[in-house]
Structure 1
C-alpha cells in the first residue's frame, strides 16, 4: 500500500525531463570531443576514456551495493563524471591513475556526501585536481604526434607568442588533455546541449566575457609581447587549455552551480576572474579546474544573496 500514495509538499510540478535523460544528453554532447581526442592521440586516449568511465560506474555500483542503497548507475551521472575526467587527462598518463581519479571523484566527492545532488563540487574536476596535486609530473606531461613538448598555454606563460598558431589551437592539433584541444568539437557539443534545453548561455557567456576582459586588461602585465586587448593573445587564451570544456560542460553542472539568474551571472564573473588570476599570475599555465571547484564552494553564498523573496513577503526590518 505504501507505494500507492506519495505525500509531498506543494508545489507539485511534473516534467518528462529526468536526470537520466539530461545526463544522456551530456554524454552525447561529449562524443565529438571524445572522438576527436581519440583521433588526435590514438588508442591510449581511447583506453583512458574507457578506463575512467568504467571505473566511475563500477565505483558507484559497488559502493551503493555495499551500503544497501538504491543502485543509480542507470541515471548516467557516474558515466558523465568518468568521461569528463578522462577528457581532462593526458593520453600519456597511466590507466591506473585515471581509475584512481574516478574512484576519488565518485566515492569521496559524490557518494560520501550523499550521492547525486548532494556533492559540493564537481566530482570530475575535484578528481583532476586531486591527481594534479598527487602526480604533478605525469598530469602535466603532454605529447602530440609522438613528441613531448609544452602546450600553447605554456608558451604564452613564457612570453613566447611567436610559437603560437591560433588555427592549430582552434582545430585541436596541439598537445593537451584528451578532450580540451579541439574548440570546434567542444562547441558542437555545446550547441547540442543548448538546443536540447540542457544549458543556457548565462554562465558560459558571462564566464568567457569576464575572462576576456580580465586578460585584456591585465595580460600586458604578465606578457611583455602583448598590448591591451591583443586579438591573437586573447584568441590563444580562449582556445588553449580547458577553458571551453570547463565553461560549457563543467561550470554549468546543475548540482554545483547557482539556480538563480542573478547568481549565475555572479558565478560566471567569479569564474572569469579566478581563471584570469590563476593563468596570468599563478605558477601554472592553466587555472580552469581550480577556478571552477573554488567557485563551487561559493555557490551557497551566491544563492543566499541572490535568492528572490517569496511572493507576499515584506521588506527588510
Structure 2
C-alpha cells in the first residue's frame, strides 16, 4: 500500500472512530441518568484498560509506539456498553483486555482483524465466568436503585432490562442518526438484521416458540456492533446477506434455548464468511449492484454452510464444548502475537 493510501486509510479510520464515540454519548447519558455512576465506571474502566493494553502491547511486543486511531477506545466503550449495568469492575476490565488483545492487536492492525473484538471479550466472560452475567445475577440489578420502566410503546423510550447500551432505543436512534448524517452508517446491515429478526419472531410466535427478544439489544447490535469496519462486508448485497443471516442464526439459537450467547455465536460464524461474501456478493466489473445466477447460487451455498455451522455450535454448546473451542482460539491468538514484529 502506498504512503498516501496509508495516510488516507488512517484518516478514514480515525474520523470514523471519533464519530462513533460521539454517537455513543446519548447511550452513556441515559445510563448515568437511570443507573447512576456505576455503569459509567464500567465504561470508563473498559475504555482505559483497552487503551492501556494497546500502549503496553506496542511498547513490549512490537517495541514501538502505536499511533492512535481511536479504534481501541471505541472497542473499550462498546465492550462497556455491551455489559450488564452492575457488572463487577474487574470483569469489565478483563473483557476489554481480551477484546483488544485477542480480537484486534493479535492480527497486527485494525484493518487485518477477522473477528469482532467486542464479541470476543463478552464471550470470554460468558464462558469463563458464567455466573457473573447469568440471568437474575447481581450484575443486572441493584436493590438500592429502582430504575424506571415502561410497558408497550413506552418501552421504546426506556426498557428496564438488558445491557447498558440497550436501555434506550431512542438514545440509540439519536446516535445512529448522527452516524448516518456523517456518512458512517449504512442501512443495509441493520435492515437485514431487523427484517430477519422480526419475521423470525412472528413466525416463532405463531408456532408457539418463545423468543427472548430485547428490542434495545437488537437495535444496539445492528447499529454499533455489526457495522464494524473490518469484520463486516463491504458491498450492498453482502451487507444485506450478513445482516439477514445473523438474524436467522440468532432465531435458531434462541429456538434451542441459547440466549445470551446467541448474537455472539451468530456474529462469529458470519465473521468466518466475510471474505467469501466480499468475493461473491460484490458489484460486477461495470460497478452495477446486480446479482446473476452464479452469485445467487453461491450465496445460497453460503447460507446453507452458515446454517450447518449454527447447528454445529448448538451441538457444541449443549455439550459444553464451546469453552474448549474458545481456548484453542486463544492459543491461536498467542501464536499470532508471537509472530508479530
TM-score bucket (shorter structure): 0.7 to 0.9
Choose between structure 1 and 2: higher helix proportion: 2
**Structure 1 position 215, deviation (Å):** 1.5
Q: Is the 8 A contact 1:29 1:190 kept in 2?
A: yes
Structure 1 position 208 matched with structure 2 position 194: yes
In structure 1, runs of 5+ residues without a counterpart are 1-5, 153-163, 225-232
Return the alpha-carbon distance in structure 1 between the equivalents of residues 272 and 33 of structure 2.
36
Task: Give the alignment of 1:82-101 within 5 angstroms.
Answer: 82-101=76-95
Which residue, out of 166, 171, 176, partners 1:185? 171
Q: TM-score, normalised by structure 1?
A: 0.80
Which residue, out of 259, 277, 286, partners 1:284? 259
Return the alpha-carbon distance in structure 1 between the equivalents of residues 228 and 140 of structure 2.
30
CA gap of 1:31–1:186, structure 2 versus 1, over 3 A, is same
Counterpart secondary structure, 2:104: helix
More deviation, 14-23/256-265: 14-23
Counterpart secondary structure, 2:164: coil
CA gap of 1:185–1:7, structure 2 versus 1, over 3 A, is closer
In structure 2, runs of 5+ residues without a counterpart are 288-293, 295-341
Return the alpha-carbon distance in structure 2 between the equivalents of residues 177 and 309 of structure 1.
41
Which residue, out of 129, 134, 137, partners 2:128? 134
**Structure 1 position 12, deviation (Å):** 11
Q: Is the 8 A contact 1:53 1:81 kept in 2?
A: yes
Q: Is the 8 A contact 1:222 1:280 kept in 2?
A: no
Counterpart secondary structure, 2:161: coil
Q: CA RMSD in A?
A: 3.0
CA gap of 1:65–1:138, structure 2 versus 1, over 3 A, is same
**Structure 1 position 14, deviation (Å):** 6.0
CA gap of 1:147–1:177, structure 2 versus 1, over 3 A, is farther
Task: Show CA shifts across 1:64-97 (max 9, x none).
Answer: 111224413x311011000000001112221111
- The equivalent residue for 1:39 is 33
**Structure 1 position 166, deviation (Å):** 2.8
Counterpart secondary structure, 2:57: helix
CA gap of 1:273–1:111, structure 2 versus 1, over 3 A, is same
Counterpart secondary structure, 2:247: helix
CA gap of 1:13–1:124, structure 2 versus 1, over 3 A, is closer
Q: TM-score, normalised by structure 2?
A: 0.74
